Amino acid sequence: MNQAHIHLIVNHLPIAGSLFALILLGVGLLRKNTTLIEAGLVGVLGAGLLCLPAQLTGEGAASIVQDLPRVSRALIQNHAAAAEQGFWVLETAAALALFALRLLKDASPQARRLALLAWVAVGLSFSLLARAGYLGGQIRHPEIREGLGRPNEL
């Protein structure tokens, strides 16, 4: 098993994890349910942790596929830039979630505000990571590239 294989296995986890955390935390905030808020914040932390192996194996995966036929360095660079941006936003969301959990434990009135900031950050990270996933798919899945599909047959 090489880094490209590991990258393909783990790269969907932070996307799905951030979506799950976004929904769970959002429901908790709407219902003002501390248990759901805590679970959502833990979900944000989990998504942040799940993003690490995807980020750490990305460069190794790129070096393996960069010389394959029909693989463009521009596609790899676009994916890498988008993934790094999403990674840092998700890590920021995870840090906010960690602080919010600490404030919840201390019953601080600021906990809800910080949880709301974590929710906004994880929502942004989900959209950035979903875009990175789409760009990553274009590297070895030409069927999703614009203009490469088969014309509609009548």
SS3 per-residue string spanning 23-69? HHHHHHHHHCCHHHHHHHHHHHHHHHHHHHHHHHHHHHHHHHHCCCC
Q: In whole numbers, what is the pLDDT of the chain averaged over residues? A: 91
Q: What is the predicted pLDDT for the residue at 154?
A: 46
Is the pTM here over 0.85, yes or no?
Answer: yes
Read off the pLDDT band of 8 (50, 70, 90): confident
* Residue 153 CB-density burial (10 A; 0-12 exposed, 13-18 middle, 19+ buried): exposed
Residues 43, 24: Cα–Cα separation, whole Å: 8
Residues 6+ apart with CB under 8 A from 99: 114
Q: What is the predicted pLDDT for the residue at 140?
A: 75
User: Is the separation of the CB atoms in 54 and 13 below 8 Å?
Assistant: yes
pLDDT at 79 over 50: yes
Q: pLDDT tens digits for 23-77? A: 999 999 999 999 999 999 999 999 999 999 999 999 998 888 888 888 888 989 9
